[in-house]
Structure 1
Amino acid sequence: MVREGSARPIPKVISVDDHVIEPSHLFDVWLPHKYRERGPKPFTAGIGDLQYIGGKYRFTTDPDGQVTDWWEYEGEIFPYKRIIAAVGFSRDEMTLDGITREQMRRGCWDPKARLEDMDLNHVEASLCFPTFPRFCGQTFAEAQDKEVALACVRAYNDWMVEEWCGDSGGRLIPLCLIPLWDVELAVAEIRRNAARGVRAVTFSEIPTYLGLPSIHSGYWDPFFAACEETGTVVNMHIGSSSQMPAASPDAPPAVQATLSFNNAMSSLADFLFSGVLVRFPRLTLAYSEGQMGWIPYALERADDVWRDHRAWGGVRDLIPEPPSTYYYRQVFCCFFRDKHGIDAIEAVGVDNATFETDYPHVDSTWPHTKRVAAEHVAGLSEDVAYKLLRGNAIRMLGLPFDEGRVTAATA
């Protein structure tokens, strides 16, 4: 274990997993005029009954219910809930109740206020996942009118790059969507955004759960090739498969919350045995909000399977080296509360782990991130602490911070 003695100041954090609540004007401003009537529309209404069906929440409106901000798109309605804009509320107030933007902390949706909240939280830079489009753009992938859906993907990305991140001085890091339903359109969107400096895209941890081709099929290879060529990091958030693991279909949501890392673990095994990381040796994957304490055994087991079972397991000619080789070379994880992972950081990979604050979700460490981070890295060497809280994120995303130190640390 890489340990060092006394308490010391910690560097400012770079968070690789936060979230943005989309402003109500997004599609009115950024969607081309000819699509606006068919595009997403914001509205405010009371929230009605909540049902939890097949692992998904279903809501209705109610004129007598709590006033809530919503989106309507192709006849479907999406409410903002307090648990996704939880910062500033007590733990007992972090519920599934509806919420309006005015009731949220302004940093949820206003970039200037977000920077102020980052300053309060010892955070220098932040990568933010979408909310209404869902973690990898499932909302648009499920739409019937794909012409409008493509325009919405592009409008969201334009807003993300030019408005959300535009005046932040590089502190808000753009994370863009792709049209998941068409790999060639996805490649075009990767290239369009890379040309303006974007180096991060969000993708599904398990595409088959969305009714899309698997990563084993070869269908996604042009996408992976474009990401490799442009240096675009493929970010996969827990829940980006629109399913969360549970032991029983009628289990309470607490079971899913406890098991939330399981899809990341399944996805990692999928990639390690897919040949994708062999064919694209400069492709970078990032697992978001999956934590890291599970990784050492997952790698140990994958290497055991490769060594002992690769012939009948179908990977003898596909994976030439132990699977952990590709993890340490091309995959990043992230954490915010994972002391078990810290205890196993050498096996997790001191060059593979990054940090997050999950602002403004219910799991967020805001405004106590500095204390939480300091507690986690207290026993680590200064160099390892720097890598986990900052340096690995800079290297992963090619950020314009600490160039001399990152270069020296990874030379």
Structure 2
Amino acid sequence: MTELPRIVSVDDHVIEPAHLFETWLPARYRDGGPKPLTEGIGELAYVGGKYRITMDPGGPPTDWWIYEDLAFPYKRNIAAVGFDRDEMTLEGITRAEMRRGCWDPVARLADMDLNHVEASLCFPTFPRFCGQTFAEARDKEVALACVRAYNDWMVEEWCGDSGGRLIPLCLIPLWDIGLAVAEIRRNAERGVRAVTFSEIPPYLGLPSIHSGYWDPFFAVCEETGTVVNMHIGSSSQMPAASPDAPPAVQASLSFNNAMASMTDFLFSGVLVRFPRLKLAYSEGQMGWIPYALERADDGWREHRAWGGVKDLVPEPPSTYYYRQIYCCFFRDKHGIASLDAVGRDNATFETDYPHVDSTFPHTKEVALDHVKGLDDETVYKLMRGNAIRMLGLDLDQDRDRDRDRDRDRDRRWS
């Protein structure tokens, strides 16, 4: 390998600018919509998977969103780039203290250049990973307007002048399947090919994927080529063995929800009914996948008669994983060692900018350390090729055309 291909990161994050809703929310909804505020913060603790937060005018200045009864502060651990590791704490933070690339698209592109990244897909922060903030709101008319305003900002402002380097990732109104389908269509018509969704909807009080409720959503995503992206924590519940365990336990177990969600999908029949639907698990890593697939296939062989899936899932579950599911990683040497079982066509890369886990600004070095010894074609797939194929990106078309031409030539002469 002469040079590491520039990375297409399938999981980064954006800190919303203070003007977002003032600019993009229609005027008639602004009184009831989110409002930015800079105010002191008091208690900020993470206990049992939930934040305890208070305002304190005498506390450190922090940037907040105020929306209905919600007071949402930005925290240093979610805008961590630029700080030393031991400074990535649960303190409040203002945008002025953040690295500008957290919320400014021009500065983000510059940081991507520093970090060997060509393109980036960014999850929301204030709306939470799949729009739970708006799903929990009382006034659903305003909430729907907020979802649409966020998506308009994402497509037209955050991504609009990036030349395709910032990839739009949109929300749906989780509380209404008809509105969700309409929002997928609205965004697909302007080229959006990624939507964020909950890894485990019942944790949010929503129907499960087994109920059939979400089938119209899956159908429109399949029809439009929209990838369903599920970030760890998009169920608002992180795994832990004990309610009083330190947050490091949940951070270490965060892949568990992705594993549970993937197993749910493999046995749901969703991937059978929608064979072109694509699912992507974000920040879940991949070292766990080989055993999860082995266990799912074993369970299907041994238990399908009484287990309720004999007619629902006609082939071994791993069949549907390799056909339709993508994982992603950034620090996972065990996954790399098991790459044939993970799937060389199923793994993608991420940088997690600007979170505490981010590899910025050392992503190139981290990636090179993982892929040493792999062949060039596999490195290309992991760093960008699989992400380009997954998201239907307009990148590397010349390379793909040349590769297909060479393969056709080889077939003719073989």
Name 2:356's counterpart in structure 1: 362
1:77 maps onto 2:71 in alignment: yes
CA contact (8 A) 2:239 2:256 kept: yes
Residues matched between the structures, number: 405
Name 1:308's counterpart in structure 2: 302
Distance 1:168 1:216 in 2: 39
1:193 maps onto 2:212 in alignment: no
Name 1:353's counterpart in structure 2: 347
Post-superposition offset of 1:53: 4.4
SS of equivalent to 2:257 = helix
TM-score (norm 2): 0.96
Of all paired residues, the percent bearing the same amino acid is 81
1:19 maps onto 2:24 in alignment: no
Name 2:56's counterpart in structure 1: 62
- Corresponding letter in the other structure for 2:241: A
SS of equivalent to 2:221 = helix
Deviation track 1:109-131 (CA, whole Å, cap 9, x = no partner) reads: 00000000000000000000000
SS of equivalent to 2:280 = strand
Post-superposition offset of 1:405: 3.3
CA contact (8 A) 1:201 1:232 kept: yes
CA contact (8 A) 2:44 2:91 kept: no
| Residue of structure 2 aligned with 1:143, choices 137, 140, 160 | 137
Name 1:232's counterpart in structure 2: 226
| Residue of structure 2 aligned with 1:386, choices 360, 365, 380 | 380
CA contact (8 A) 1:395 1:406 kept: no
Distance 1:258 1:29 in 2: 39
- Residue pairs, 1:156-171, within 5 angstroms: 156-171=150-165
Distance 1:104 1:160 in 2: 20
Distance 1:51 1:400 in 2: 43
Name 1:132's counterpart in structure 2: 126
Dislocated runs of 4+, deviation >3 Å: 51-54, 404-411
Name 1:3's counterpart in structure 2: none
Name 1:257's counterpart in structure 2: 251
Distance 1:303 1:403 in 2: 36
CA contact (8 A) 2:47 2:246 kept: no
Deviation track 1:77-124 (CA, whole Å, cap 9, x = no partner) reads: 000000000000000100000000000000000000000000000000
Task: Structure 1: state its 5+ residue gaps.
Answer: 1-6
Distance 1:264 1:49 in 2: 31
| Residue of structure 2 aligned with 1:152, choices 146, 149, 154 | 146
Cα RMSD, aligned residues only: 1.1
Deviation track 1:53-80 (CA, whole Å, cap 9, x = no partner) reads: 4411021111111110000000210000
CA contact (8 A) 1:394 1:406 kept: no
Task: Structure 2: state its 5+ residue gaps.
Answer: 409-414
Deviation track 1:186-236 (CA, whole Å, cap 9, x = no partner) reads: 000000000000000000000000000000000000000000000000000
Post-superposition offset of 1:41: 0.3
1:295 maps onto 2:289 in alignment: yes
Distance 1:361 1:11 in 2: 23
- Corresponding letter in the other structure for 2:255: F
Deviation track 1:2-26 (CA, whole Å, cap 9, x = no partner) reads: xxxxx63110000000000000000
Name 2:266's counterpart in structure 1: 272
